[in-house]
Chains A and B, each alone.
Chain A
Amino acid sequence: MKKAISIAVVVLMLALSMVSAFALVSPEEQKIVDALKAGVTVNGQTVTLPADYINQAENYLINNDVDITAENAAAIIAKIDNAKAVIVEKGITNLDKNIPSDVKDQLVAIAEEAAKVENLKVTVSGDKSQITIVDNNGNQVFRWEENKTLPPTGAENVDMSAAFAIIAAFATVVVAAAFVAKKVKA
């Protein structure tokens, strides 16, 4: 009987722990989303994170494989508050562009600390115009881009167009060189 009860308890605990493995935003994860959505006041103006980035974070948290503990959620929220403090201190009113380089460095450092909590990796492009966060499997979970634009969706044949442009450029240079050579000879 005791054995049956203990087995039942183990099964119940397993079932409870597996619930959070399915797609869901837990109360702890919801707190993270709420923290991201809450704006800050900078020089009398309310500054909020663009929906683009909040949605990316929410999509990551919804994911089946993501299950953030209360402790980790609190740590991440603390980092979000640190980032907000930097934004207020430095008077940043636009989080899409024109962020000074030193502020970017500070925010990236905070992001790296937050990412470490969930074993995520932050990479920054050489010109600091793109910041990408990936998980252990290399899957992109977040991407910030300065002066973000929609991806190009009309360059399917650009391979041949580019080749043609290069060939045409060479042909032009050859013609120009021949012209110059003729002049020099004259």
Chain B
Amino acid sequence: MSIKHKGYDRKSFIILPIVFLIIGFLLIFFVVKPIVAPFLEYADLILLDSEMDYDKEFDDIFVPIVDIEEPLPPDDKEDPDVNAEPPDVNVEPPPTQPDTIPLSSITYPKFGTKYAQIRIPECYISTYLYFGDSTKILKLGAGQSTSSFIPGYGGTILAGAHNNTYFHNFKYIKEGQKIYIDTSYGQYVYTVTETKIIKSSQTKELRLDSDKEILVLYTCYPFDELGLTNKRFVVYADYTSGPIIDHSA
């Protein structure tokens, strides 16, 4: 085989296919994906319609202290009517709720424990909260970073959920809205103060060293992005009410 023929073979069978692959993928990503994306969602509904039973792997210590509706499955998510009155919610703390509770009276969640429910009524968001943020947990609900603390402890509570399921309606969140976290030891309310778009690497924006209790929720951005994105939509909320945990008792 001549040298010229060898060079032709290398170009034909190695370089050209790779170039075609890259150009083809770029074309598909920028041109075809927006057209095909809705069909992919429908395909998922059909092909992945069996319930995932990761739930059996995780402990469940959540018993709400007040009657609240269970979260709807993510496929039944609603888009809120932004012009309508907010839905009727439990806006006052339950009357039996103490101002403080001893830390020793609380069953502290471990990694993978379902221990609370997050509700943002004005955005029709309601999902269970797990301690831990593994891939499996994020398929079941909101996952709390173990680098953050439980409601009432006095530190930052950091949790995330998928933008096309549990936190899909984050696009409707506004300053001043209330976020409820119901736990087995109390109902906590937080008031949204700020929203921000950050890169996933900007971990200092998560305010894990806050000296007061704040709630930080995040999801991927843009909200309708399929696939991986390095942007996160972050919601900051200040503690408003709920029993303060006494660390010394």
Residues of chain A having any CB pair with chain B under 8 Å: 19, 22-25, 50-53, 55-56, 58-59, 62-64, 96, 139-141, 143, 147-161, 164-165, 168-169, 171-173, 175-177, 179-180, 183-184
- Assembly CA distance A53 to B145 (angstroms): 11
Residue of B nearest to A176 (CB): B20
- Assembly CA distance A19 to B32 (angstroms): 62
Residue of B nearest to A20 (CB): B104
User: Which 8 pairs of residues, A with B, have the shortest CB-CB distance?
Assistant: A154-B220, A172-B24, A176-B20, A51-B209, A22-B104, A149-B200, A51-B208, A23-B108
Residues of chain B having any CB pair with chain A under 8 Å: 12-13, 16-17, 20-21, 24-25, 28, 32, 36, 40-41, 43-44, 47-48, 103-108, 110-112, 132-133, 135, 138-139, 143, 146-149, 155-156, 160-165, 167, 200-201, 203, 206, 208-209, 218-221, 225-230, 232, 247
The reply to whether A172 and B138 contact each other, CB–CB distance below 8 Å, is no
Q: Which residues of A contact B225 (CB under 8 A)?
A: 154
The reply to whether B40 and A160 contact each other, CB–CB distance below 8 Å, is yes
The reply to whether A180 and B40 contact each other, CB–CB distance below 8 Å, is no
Supply 11 A–B pairs (Cβ within 8 Å), ascending by A: A23-B108, A24-B104, A55-B156, A59-B146, A59-B149, A140-B132, A153-B162, A154-B163, A160-B47, A168-B24, A172-B25
Q: Which residues of A contact B28 (CB under 8 A)?
A: 165, 168
The reply to whether A153 and B147 contact each other, CB–CB distance below 8 Å, is no
The reply to whether B104 and A23 contact each other, CB–CB distance below 8 Å, is yes
How far apart are A126's CB and chain B's nearest CB, in angstroms? 19
- Assembly CA distance A157 to B42 (angstroms): 10
The reply to whether A52 and B203 contact each other, CB–CB distance below 8 Å, is yes
